[in-house]
Structure 1
Amino acid sequence: MKLTVKRDSSLDSLRGIAIILMVLSGSIAFSILPGWMYHAQVPPPGHKFMPEIPGITWVDLVFPFFLFSMGAAIPLAMKKKIENSSSLNIFISIVKRFVLLTFFALFTMHARAWVLSSEPGLKENLLSILCFVLLFAIYGDFGKKVNKRTDLAIKIVGILLAIGVMFFGFSGDKKFNLFNPDIIILVLANMAFFGTIIWWLTAKNLWLRIGVLPFVMAIFLASKEPGSINETIFNWTPAAWLYKFYYLKYLFIILPSTLVGEWIIQDQTNGDQQAIVKKHYSILAIVGFLVIVCNVVCLYSRHLELNLLFSAIFAGIALYIAYQIKKSQALNIVVKLIYVGSYLLFLGLLFEAFEGGIKKDYSTYSYYFVCTGLAFFMMLVFYALNKIQLFKRFTNMLAMVGKNPMIAYTAGNLLLIPILKITNTEIYLNSLQTGFAGGLLRGVLFTAVVTLITIIATKKGVFWKT
């Protein structure tokens, strides 16, 4: 039987909300909002890095949720390739994606006006907008609109012009710096490469895939022992600007999330064996959301015992519903999301006392497991909402952004900010930086415009892909 793998709207919605919240967290007013509106370890008003502060905020969930969506998408993207392509072609496609994401990390950082010049003016802002246009040429999916030769020519011209900007577009003492990529994208590039390779090699052996993680943990835990093999492995790199073993810590998010992609494929193949009652979906959507809110609030405020109690209550309700579903039908995706999400969440909460409490930076094992568990519950929320068709317009909007995350990620820095600078309208946006309401509104307005740009591109069928 020919395998057909379709996009999953719940996963697109999760990716969409992650990228929207990423843009929002970077565009709200600086220093004047409460601490829970920023990364927990970089509190206002000074925003100095204070790694001794334990706790997480909603901002600290954004990157793990995006990593989760990337990991879940690996089986969806690779399943047909494994069945229809040679091993060499599969490996080449993985390397190609790594190279394109790495180039994206370097180019989009150096294309920002404030990176091109210490005092960016009209020239640098126009150049940033040009770079945004070049990204359409490099990453745009023109396969159905032009022939392969024309598509390749467009991409080659785009890459050459982009390289020209990175080497000749700077002003003053600014210049291209290989060690100054967009670190978020570079980490994603490493995770796309290693996560996909590991999934490919363990596609038929789940235990082997998860078994990779204790070895990664062992290298991390013993890497501080002088002269040990762990230290050698941890410090070795063929190119320090490109790869560090330190990046592999996010495999603790990527590899568990690949399970979700496999469950989605199974769900598409088998279909719903029996409809779950609408009331169950409604309860699961509420409970899943409460688990996330409870953990963010209590871990930030350090009410650890209270968090364990409420997490146990909410997860217990979800597990009870999962048990009822399991009694009446085969183990479906809803039950699996609850089981694995609960397991990872409580594993992370029991790691909370280790390494000085849960932290994004420097990230702790509690952070990996708690955030991955919460991502499973967020996926559960969107899956349930889609099944009962609740907040359909909202989830569809998120899904449209989730289908085009690269545009959403760059539209603010390379298009919107330069336009605001050139037209001198940035002063109106910055005038909102007074108090909580104004500071939040600044971010909401900025994020809304970025979201609109992304949705328009998606509706027009314009996608950036690697």
Structure 2
Amino acid sequence: MKKREEALDALRGLAILLMVLSSSVSFGILPAWMYHAQVPPPYHVFKPELPGITWVDLVFPFFLFTMGAAIPLALQKKLGEQSVFKTAGQLVQRYLLLVVFALFTFYARAWVMSATAGAKEYLLSIGCFFVLFLMYARFNNLNNKAISLGIKIVGFALAAAFLMFYPFKNGFNLSSSDIIIIVLANMAFFGTLIWWLTRNQPLLRIGILPLLMAILLTAKDAGTWNSAFFNWSPLPWMYKVYYLKYLFIVLPGTFAGEWLLNRSAAPIQDLIAGAKAKLLSAAALCWLLLICNVVCLHMRWLVPNLFITGALSLLLLQQLKKLNEGSDKTLFAKFANVGVYLLILGLFFEAFEGGIKKDISTFSYYFVNTGLAFLVLLSFTIFERLGYFSAIITFLGNNGKNPMVAYTAGNLLLIPLLKLTGTDVYLDNVANLPAGGFLRGLLFTGVVSLITLYCTRAKLFWKT
């Protein structure tokens, strides 16, 4: 059995844990760079005119990037072993399962059930968390497929009954769901479909993006077919052309997955003397590029950032150029070249659309974050290759192997348990300590991570 790409799992794990952390730090009391750039403290009112990014604005595009990279890794073997119809059916099934996940996990939150959530709502949230195991877990120990199917049917029946009959505070509406998961569902479907159709024509895959850009840029011109196409949707609660903008992150990610596949098929080479130092310096430069861009774009030091990014990028490419020829150099050079190009392309787009922003997301945002994702993946791949920071890579990777659990454990299990036991008061009091607002989020994220790690080690993976 092929070894998993631990570096990719680690990047996914980093993204999901930072997503949990960003939503669990105390609001209103930390510096502006600890929150979304467009929702600054102390009142966190959405200000779409504010340009810039913070570390919080990296986590969602990083997760989207790993989704794109995972597509060829998951499908390449299947396409050679099963029929087109079976693959198409699995693609549609995954889309629908993610849409159901978005609906169910949204309404399973106690504060969505009732404006004054109490013990009943919190217990129901915990119950819904365990119902998700019936719906999405793979029970590999069960050899009887009929029993496994029966468990899933029971899970989905319970979920359907809950959504149909529970008196939610605002009623049940298909338009109300977890928008992040809805976006991921669309990216999983369209990203996989496009990769499938263009897997032997990578230039065509790239060529789709300018066409999409044209639609997005002309959608506001009323009376045009562009506007009509952009605004048309047979089921607007689960699909909008607007969501396809994130293909600018997902489709470049598919190339990363293909390059990882190609590297895995090549023999592993021994590292020669001096190669470790060059690789470590390359990994350090990747992180310097990330830190420099987040700080400078947030502070609006645009011209210095452009020059610093250019200088660091040249150093990175030069370090990798010194490596001996082989599969490692080929992979690392591709990651670095594309990452640097997309990062600089994003900086050239920075002045467009009022500056880089997550909401409403700009082309600069897509390109900068995709470039940075390539560079962080490069650094993790180097660390994995050298055997450095292996404990951290393994920790992040084990979280990244079970992202659906990590995403829901906080809202559906940990918060209800804290409320039922009254320990939420102690967690909130941590915010009164120096840097306590961040410490509160760190403690919360740590417990979510422990829950996820337990499920991973118990092989209780939620899959679609």
Q: Flag whether TM exceeds 0.5 (same fold).
A: yes
Counterpart check, 1:70 vs 2:67 = yes
Q: Say which of 211, 215, 218 aligns to 1:222.
A: 218
Counterpart check, 1:157 vs 2:154 = yes
Kept in 1, the 8 Å contact 2:114–2:121? The answer is yes
The amino acid that maps onto 2:354 is G
Question: What's the CA shift string for 1:372-401, capped at 9, x where partnerless?
Answer: 000001101111111121111111100000
Which residue in 2 is equivalent to 1:338? 336
Kept in 2, the 8 Å contact 1:5–1:265? The answer is no
Counterpart check, 1:236 vs 2:232 = yes
Which residue in 1 is equivalent to 2:35? 38
Which residue in 1 is equivalent to 2:258? 262
1:308 deviation in Å? 1.0
Look up the SS of the partner of 2:220 in the other structure.
coil
CA distance in 1, matches of 2:386, 2:78: 33
CA distance in 1, matches of 2:281, 2:267: 22
Aligned residues: 462
Which residue in 1 is equivalent to 2:286? 288
Look up the SS of the partner of 2:304 in the other structure.
helix
5+ residue gaps in structure 1?
A: none
The amino acid that maps onto 1:63 is F
Question: What's the CA shift string for 1:138-164, capped at 9, x where partnerless?
Answer: 000113434211111000100010111
Question: What's the CA shift string for 1:168-196, capped at 9, x where partnerless?
Answer: 2335x432121111000000000000000
CA distance in 1, matches of 2:22, 2:223: 41
CA distance in 1, matches of 2:216, 2:314: 33
1:6 deviation in Å? 3.8
Counterpart check, 1:170 vs 2:162 = no
Question: What's the CA shift string for 1:283-311, capped at 9, x where partnerless?
Answer: 11111111100000000000011111211
Cα pair distance change 1:329/1:415, threshold 3 Å? closer
Look up the SS of the partner of 1:332 in the other structure.
helix
CA distance in 2, matches of 1:183, 1:439: 26
1:326 deviation in Å? 6.3
The amino acid that maps onto 2:238 is L
Q: How does 1:389-428 map to 2 (within 5 A)?
A: 389-428=387-426
Look up the SS of the partner of 1:265 in the other structure.
helix
Kept in 2, the 8 Å contact 1:33–1:436? The answer is no
Q: How does 1:342-357 map to 2 (within 5 A)?
A: 342-357=340-355
The amino acid that maps onto 1:439 is G
Which residue in 2 is equivalent to 1:135? 132
Cα pair distance change 1:146/1:414, threshold 3 Å? farther
Cα pair distance change 1:373/1:93, threshold 3 Å? same
Which residue in 2 is equivalent to 1:376? 374
Cα pair distance change 1:412/1:216, threshold 3 Å? same
Kept in 1, the 8 Å contact 2:191–2:251? The answer is yes
CA distance in 1, matches of 2:294, 2:25: 19
Question: What's the CA shift string for 1:222-279, capped at 9, x where partnerless?
Answer: 1111111110110010011011100000000000010011011111111335636111
Which residue in 1 is equivalent to 2:85? 88
Which residue in 2 is equivalent to 1:443? 441
Which residue in 2 is equivalent to 1:56? 53
The amino acid that maps onto 1:278 is K
Q: Say which of 24, 27, 35 aligns to 1:27.
A: 24
1:280 deviation in Å? 1.7
CA distance in 1, matches of 2:428, 2:85: 52
Cα pair distance change 1:394/1:331, threshold 3 Å? closer
Counterpart check, 1:123 vs 2:120 = yes
The amino acid that maps onto 1:122 is A
Kept in 1, the 8 Å contact 2:279–2:320? The answer is no
The amino acid that maps onto 1:408 is A
Which residue in 2 is equivalent to 1:208? 204
Which residue in 1 is equivalent to 2:5? 8
Identity value in percent: 53
Q: How does 1:452-463 map to 2 (within 5 A)?
A: 452-463=450-461
Cα pair distance change 1:110/1:287, threshold 3 Å? same
Which residue in 1 is equivalent to 2:427? 429
The amino acid that maps onto 2:131 is L
Which residue in 2 is equivalent to 1:18? 15
The amino acid that maps onto 1:354 is F
Kept in 1, the 8 Å contact 2:263–2:328? The answer is no
Cα pair distance change 1:5/1:218, threshold 3 Å? farther
Cα pair distance change 1:327/1:399, threshold 3 Å? closer
1:328 deviation in Å? 6.8
CA distance in 2, matches of 1:396, 1:130: 30
Which residue in 2 is equivalent to 1:198? 194
CA distance in 2, matches of 1:358, 1:350: 11
5+ residue gaps in structure 2?
A: none
| Structure-2-length-normalised TM-score | 0.97
Question: What's the CA shift string for 1:383-423, capped at 9, x where partnerless?
Answer: 11111211111111000000000000000000000000000
Compare 136-145 and 336-345 and name the one that shifted more: 136-145
Question: What's the CA shift string for 1:308-345, capped at 9, x where partnerless?
Answer: 12111211111102222365778521111001001100
Cα pair distance change 1:61/1:436, threshold 3 Å? farther
